[in-house]
Chains A and B, each alone.
Chain A
Amino acid sequence: MRFILPLGIFILMAGLLGFGLTLDPKKIPSPLIDKPAPEFSLSKLYALEEKLSKKDLLGQVWVLNVWASWCVSCRAEHAIITELASRNLVDIVGLDYKDQPTDARRWLQQFGNPYSASLMDIDGRVGIDWGVYGVPETFVIGKDGRIKYKHIGPVTKESLEREVIPAIKELLG
């Protein structure tokens, strides 16, 4: 009888710690979900004098994929983003985060360009507004300009089919 209490405490602790192991501390819930997407107006990679801003994309469902030529896991993710582009569901806008145009162009030339446009966030300020802290990150934005879904880290084949595409299809109606 006397070991019931310690055993109970042990089971409770083991249960809580075990649950903690299933969580990913790198995944921080974004406060931007269901909020209006942050404003931006950035130069396009292939037309630096031309700017694209949030209001140009209002009224359509679109995906923002944060990438950079220096980002190693972006290379791993690139095939999946290309796969998403090949479905022709929505425009994928790239946010080229803290990168130089020459490096970025070389990267896209080497791996292929799945983006309808890539925006140059050279000093990373727009990235801060979007709460970007680990490249790559992927956002799905609705017709009303609100962020519906955010994926932190490289999108995998599984998360593309299970999360990203369902989120897009729901917004497309």
Chain B
Amino acid sequence: MSVKRIAVKQMWVKQMRLFAIVGLLIFNGLSQAAIEFHQFKSPQMEAEYNQLIGELRCLVCQNQNLASSNADLAKDLRRQTHELLMEGNTPDQVADYMVARYGDFVLYRPPLQKNTLLLWLGPFFLLLLVVVVVFMKMRKKQVLVAPEQDAMAKAKQLLSQSNEKEQVEKL
């Protein structure tokens, strides 16, 4: 193979690589499910819509939000969210509308109420527990260290005494 042909081949490989990257980038965009186009009354409403579909859970797929789910129900609920906002509802009202039908399960950010107390406060309780345990362990160690310090002092005293003796002996 001539040098020229190898060079052409290398260029061809480079080009294919570029195509592959560009292709992947394009199709990456398609994996986002929300490809419907909605008209909004204001950019603020659009932001509210995007936040809502990001925080509402799809009930069919359960581990996806409405924004990323391709399920039929998620499509319908996105449409419903859009309509409710266009009718002048606030994001909280839209969330209440969903909760009234599907329960607290639709919220990825559960409200602070009696049955979610453990969920909200549990981590802080665990943190407190860890702090208390660590604190107690450290105190225990200090108690152990304390007599050692005494012993160190004694040892120092003894050493200096023996040093003195040695010096006296040398003399």
Q: Taking beta carbons and an 8 Å cutoff, which residues of A are in contact with B? A: 25-26, 28-32, 98, 123-125, 128-131, 133-134
Q: Taking beta carbons and an 8 Å cutoff, which residues of B are in contact with A? A: 59-60, 62, 72-73, 76-77, 80, 99-105
Q: Is the interface of A mostly helix, strand, loop or mixed?
A: loop
CB-CB under 8 A from B105, the residues of chain A are: 28-29
Taking a contact as CB atoms closer than 8 A, the residue among A123, A131, A134 that contacts B60 in the complex is A134
List the count of A-B residue pairs having beta carbons below 8 Å apart.
39
Which residue of chain A has the shortest Cβ distance to B76 in the bound complex? A124
Which residue of chain B has the shortest Cβ distance to A25 in the bound complex? B62
Which residue of chain A has the shortest Cβ distance to B102 in the bound complex? A131
Q: Is the interface of B mostly helix, strand, loop or mixed?
A: helix
Which residue of chain B has the shortest Cβ distance to A38 in the bound complex? B101
> How many angstroms between the C-alpha atoms of A98 and B72 in the bound complex?
10
Q: Say yes or no: B73 contacts A30, CB within 8 Å.
A: no
> How many angstroms between the C-alpha atoms of A28 and B72 in the bound complex?
18
Q: Say yes or no: A133 contacts B103, CB within 8 Å.
A: no
CB-CB under 8 A from B103, the residues of chain A are: 28-31, 131
**A35: min CB distance to chain B, Å:** 9
Taking a contact as CB atoms closer than 8 A, the residue among A25, A131, A134 that contacts B101 in the complex is A131
CB-CB under 8 A from B104, the residues of chain A are: 31
**B150: min CB distance to chain A, Å:** 28
> How many angstroms between the C-alpha atoms of A31 and B72 in the bound complex?
22
CB-CB under 8 A from A125, the residues of chain B are: 76, 80
CB-CB under 8 A from A131, the residues of chain B are: 101-103
Say whether, besides A25-B62, A28-B59, A130 and B101 are in contact (CB < 8 Å): yes
